[in-house]
């Protein structure tokens, strides 16, 4: 899908992640492929249970993937273990959704943020001190907070600590798994702005996973939409909002609240009924409709969409 000659930082090819529940098989991620360029913020969006978090966890190696391949900077990383996995951990870091459950309540903030450095073999206490205190300042806390415990902080502050723990490793790729969904709206904006500042400061590449399309649009260069384990649409952020093609994408966009109460009262939700869609689809695939804009549809539908767009 990437038309650039430069090797993408992350390339996911036909990723499948299935879980067995007795005789039933849950296809959490089903044949998902995409690429992320260096320095890009790639948004992965969809409702709860669509497979977006599982995709992120599969990439970082928290799950043994069922099939498919994951490449990092041109090197295959899926299936790596032992020493290779440890080395990879310093290059790819993850920010988790729940800022309470993701922090060890028995560890101080200093220990939490410094843990990755220690695991990677840093033994110079002066170096660790300097990096931890610098990171605390970057996330809006002070040196005195280092000896406190997670329960002494608000939800937004705890998420900042989780971000510091990831960024202190100077990763090339940051996987942010719904980092603001558990926070108040006012705090969400602060955390997003913090991530944006850190991205620019450290030239981070980010896979930003969320269910709120309005947040994703503000932060992402490109957006991919997932539904029931499959990727149904992929496009530049502005293009996706201006010209949504898949009915599920249109449904998600119609659910975004409007700030104007008069317009909000007139807003009509578009209901996506997948059972009806599936009956009519037949043989579908991920097809490129225009440069960089992909949608899951049949060949006939793709031709029809292209014809409609050509007519304006």
Q: What is the mean pLDDT of residues 266-295?
A: 78
167/274 same-domain check: no
Q: How many domains does the chain have?
A: 2
The model's pLDDT over 110-156, given as tens digits with 9 standing for 90+, comes to 999 999 999 989 999 999 999 999 999 999 999 999 999 999 999 99
What is the per-residue pLDDT for 212? 82
DSSP result, 167-218: HTT--SEEEEESTTTTS-HHHHHHHHHHHHHHHHHHT-EEEEEES-HHHHHH
Is 3 contained in some domain?
A: no
Is 289 contained in some domain?
A: yes
The model's pLDDT over 198-218, given as tens digits with 9 standing for 90+, comes to 999 999 999 999 988 888 888
Domain boundary among 228, 260, 284: 228
Q: Is the pLDDT of residue 2 over 50?
A: no
What is the per-residue pLDDT for 271? 84
39/181 same-domain check: yes
Domain boundary among 201, 228, 255: 228
pTM: 0.90
Is 63 contained in some domain?
A: yes
Q: Is the pLDDT of residue 3 over 50?
A: no
Q: Which domain holds residue 189?
A: 10-228
């Amino acid at each position: 899908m990437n038309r650039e000659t430069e090797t993408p930082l992350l390339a996911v090819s036909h990723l499948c992640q299935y879980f067995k529940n007795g005789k039933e098989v849950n296809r959490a991620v089903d044949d998902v492929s995409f690429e992320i360029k260096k320095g890009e913020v790639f948004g992965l969006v969809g409702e709860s249970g669509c497979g977006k978090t599982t995709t992120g966890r599969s990439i970082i190696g928290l799950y043994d993937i069922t099939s498919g391949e994951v490449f990092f900077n041109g090197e295959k990383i899926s299936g790596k273990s032992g020493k290779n996995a440890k080395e990879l951990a310093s290059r790819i870091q993850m920010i988790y959704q729940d800022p309470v459950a993701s922090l060890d309540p028995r560890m101080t903030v200093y220990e939490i943020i410094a843990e990755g450095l220690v695991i990677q073999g840093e033994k110079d206490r002066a170096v660790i001190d300097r990096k931890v205190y610098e990171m605390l300042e970057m996330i809006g806390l002070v040196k005195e907070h280092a000896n406190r415990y997670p329960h002494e902080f608000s939800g937004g502050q705890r998420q900042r600590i989780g971000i510091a723990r990831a960024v202190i490793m100077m990763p090339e790729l940051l996987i942010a798994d719904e980092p603001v969904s558990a926070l108040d709206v006012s705090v969400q904006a602060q955390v997003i702005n913090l991530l944006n500042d850190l991205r620019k400061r450290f030239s981070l590449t980010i896979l930003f996973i969320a269910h709120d399309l309005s947040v994703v649009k503000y932060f992402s260069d490109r957006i991919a939409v997932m539904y029931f384990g499959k990727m149904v649409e992929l496009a530049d952020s502005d293009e996706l909002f201006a010209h949504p093609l898949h009915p599920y994408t249109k449904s998600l966009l119609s659910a975004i609240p409007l700030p104007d109460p008069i317009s909000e009262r007139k807003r009509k939700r578009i209901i996506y009924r997948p059972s009806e869609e599936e009956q009519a689809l037949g043989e579908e695939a991920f097809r490129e409709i225009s440069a960089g804009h992909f949608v899951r549809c049949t060949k006939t539908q793709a031709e029809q969409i292209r014809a409609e767009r050509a007519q304006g």
